[in-house]
Amino acid sequence: MRIRLTLLVFVVLPTLAQAQETPAPLITYPTHTETLANGLKTIVISMPGTGLVSYWSIVRTGSRDEVEPGHTGFAHFFEHMMFRGTERYPADAYNDELTAIGASRNAYTTDDLTAYYISVAAEDLELVMDLESDRFRNLAYPESDFRTEAGAVYGEYRKNVTNPLFAMYEALLDAAFETHTYGHTTMGYEEDIAAMPSMYDYSLGFFSRFYRPDNTILLIVGDVEAEPTMALVRERYGDWQAGYAAPAVPEEPEQTEPRRIDVSFDGRTLPIVAIAYKLDAFDPANRGRVAADLLVETAFGSTSDIYKQLVIDEQVVEFLAADADRNRDPGLLMIYSRVKDPERVDYVLDAIEATTERYKTTPVEIDSLAALKSRLRYGFLMGLETPDAVARGLARMIAIAGDLEPVEALYQVYETMTPADVQRAAETYFDTNKRTIAVLRAAQ
């Protein structure tokens, strides 16, 4: 026995020492961050030899910032309007320039940001920067174009609302939030979208307020060098006038009792259940919030006991998913599923609740937690192979945190998480008094 114990000590001690070391950096490519005098922050990540560049303009405005009653949906609306062109580069000319160089481009809007991205050959970076700096400073559109696009946005909403998952999510947000602007989807409230064609003057003011350098981050990833790239940024964006003023986003009052809603869907669908708990804002310094990421994956991910029970063994649901939202303000931890048998909705809800209660009292196995940390880190690293993938993987956290550093900090804190941390997160966030349940069923 003495020999075996001695061998065990020699095996374990290096492992413990390694666990205490600071993990290697996630992003090993050279990075450079610089802020111009007008407040425009630029993050350059150099990936030599790729021959490509992913060019992201991240506006730190989303549906969260739509604080004026009757004017929801404008952040998403501008995702469309930003392709309407300028006097120098009208829409057709803008599109022709990008098509000629084989660029791919798109945009998206979320609750906390609006992002515009273009993928090009590195040799075309100067042209792209000329096009993008022009439209972000000088967007121009007549009222007729505004009305046309507003109608298209309403059509998009009408299409989305025919999806039962969207209908459930829209109703859930409205029930979960009383005052905060997270209470409406990125699309906005239907009555606001329908009224949008009459709000041309308001749209001009929205652009002037939010599309400012001190509310924008450029993320440039690829076969570029920092200093020549920054010289172009200074030349193209240096005269863009600062002037952003953060809106007074209302603070959500503490939820003190559980909520439940039934959603009637005008169409064919199986029942959908969603359970949402209030969650702290994204902050790598908040250990409980970081532990919530691990909790969600452990309790409801594809390797969890309840996933095996409901999806694989019993096959009573089509899917089971869970997310811990990363938001600038307190958001939601949400678990949702589509139930195959309408008679088993309560059974599924009970199984989910039993799982949340279990994790309040039972710590996760340390080996399982170590494996999860490894999967998270490996999965993130596997997404850093191309300029497009790097930019896409970083954009949201950069927009929320305002910088690149919190990304590294998050994964370093992941490594220090213990079963006790995950259990405390369950005790904190799986609070029935801060829970909202939504059940969607087809209308009778």
Which amino acid is it at 398?
I
Contact 271, 441 (CB under 8 A): yes
Query: Can you tell me which residue has the tokens 């300029």?
Result: 387
Q: What is the pLDDT along the chain (444 residues), one digit of tens a residue?
A: 333 222 233 233 334 334 445 667 888 999 999 999 999 999 999 999 999 999 999 999 999 999 999 999 999 999 999 999 999 999 999 999 999 999 999 999 999 999 999 999 999 999 999 999 999 999 999 999 999 999 999 999 999 999 999 999 999 999 999 999 999 999 999 999 999 999 999 999 999 999 999 999 999 999 999 999 999 999 999 999 999 999 999 999 999 999 999 999 999 999 999 999 999 999 999 999 999 999 999 999 999 999 999 999 999 999 999 999 999 999 999 999 999 999 999 999 999 999 999 999 999 999 999 999 999 999 999 889 999 999 999 999 999 999 999 999 999 999 999 999 999 999 999 999 999 999 999 998
| Alpha-carbon gap, residue 120 to 391, rounded angstroms | 13
Contact 295, 355 (CB under 8 A): no
Please report the pLDDT score of residue 22 as a whole number. Answer: 61
Helix pair angle (125-138, 91-100), 10° resolution: 160
| Residues with Cβ within 8 Å of residue 90, at least 6 apart in sequence | none
Please report the pLDDT score of residue 21 as a whole number. Answer: 57
Please report the pLDDT score of residue 23 as a whole number. Answer: 66
The closest of 200, 187, 206 to 148, measured between CA atoms, is: 200
| Alpha-carbon gap, residue 157 to 195, rounded angstroms | 13
Please report the pLDDT score of residue 20 as a whole number. Answer: 46
| Alpha-carbon gap, residue 101 to 123, rounded angstroms | 10
Query: Can you tell me which residue has the tokens 């039934």?
Result: 262
Please report the pLDDT score of residue 62 as a whole number. Answer: 98
Distances (CA, A) of 437 to 78, 186, 250, 274, 429: 32, 21, 23, 6, 15
Can you say whether the dihedral through the CA atoms of 126, 130, 135, 140 is positive or negative? Answer: negative
Query: Can you tell me which residue has the tokens 């084989």?
Result: 102
For the chain, list the domains and their CATH numbers: 31-237 (3.30.830.10), 259-442 (3.30.830.10)
Please report the pLDDT score of residue 275 as a whole number. Answer: 98
Distances (CA, A) of 86 to 55, 77, 95, 137: 19, 17, 12, 9
Contact 420, 290 (CB under 8 A): no
The closest of 189, 115, 124, 183 to 153, measured between CA atoms, is: 189
| Alpha-carbon gap, residue 262 to 172, rounded angstroms | 10
Please report the pLDDT score of residue 215 as a whole number. Answer: 98
Can you say whether the dihedral through the CA atoms of 36, 40, 45, 46 is positive or negative? Answer: negative
Q: In this structure, what token pair is assigned to residue 361?
A: 């009292």
Can you say whether the dihedral through the CA atoms of 135, 138, 144, 149 is positive or negative? Answer: positive
